[in-house]
Amino acid sequence: MQPSGIIIWVVVFVLIYFMMIKPQRKQGKQREEMLVNLKVGDKVVTLGGIYGKIVRITDETIKLEVAENMRLKMQRSAVNFVDEDEETDE
């Protein structure tokens, strides 16, 4: 009886790993890669939902142009994703 109980727990742990932990790690690596590859001119969306274009970038911060002559300084990690959509609301 004991060995089968241990086997069940091992199987449960393996399933949890492949269904939850591994995909989360992959997503984290993709996000880190995206943040490292940011460049001036990229159109991005922040975690707060602000759309803008990167006009300046440093190791820790970015400057986003959100409207003509309106720029916001933000942490680089505040970028949620690069907006590759061709449509613009302007």
Taking the CA atoms of 47, 51, 53 and 55 in sequence, report the sign of the dihedral they define: negative
Q: Are residues 67 and 33 in the same domain?
A: no
pTM of the predicted structure, to 2 decimals: 0.70
Q: Are residues 58 and 44 in the same domain?
A: yes
Q: Residue 57: which domain range?
A: 39-90
| HEC secondary structure over the chain | CHHHHHHHHHHHHHHHHHHHHHHHHHHHHHHHHHHHCCCCCCEEEECCCCEEEEEEECCCEEEEEEECCEEEEEEHHHEEEECCCCCCCC
**Total domains, the chain:** 2
At 87, the pLDDT band (50, 70, 90 cuts) reads low
Q: Are residues 25 and 68 in the same domain?
A: no
Q: pLDDT for 22-76, tens place per residue?
A: 999 999 999 999 999 999 999 999 999 999 999 999 999 999 999 999 999 999 9
Q: Are residues 81 and 44 in the same domain?
A: yes
Q: Are residues 45 and 80 in the same domain?
A: yes
Q: Are residues 16 and 44 in the same domain?
A: no
Q: Are residues 53 and 10 in the same domain?
A: no
Q: Which tokens is 65 given?
A: 């142009």
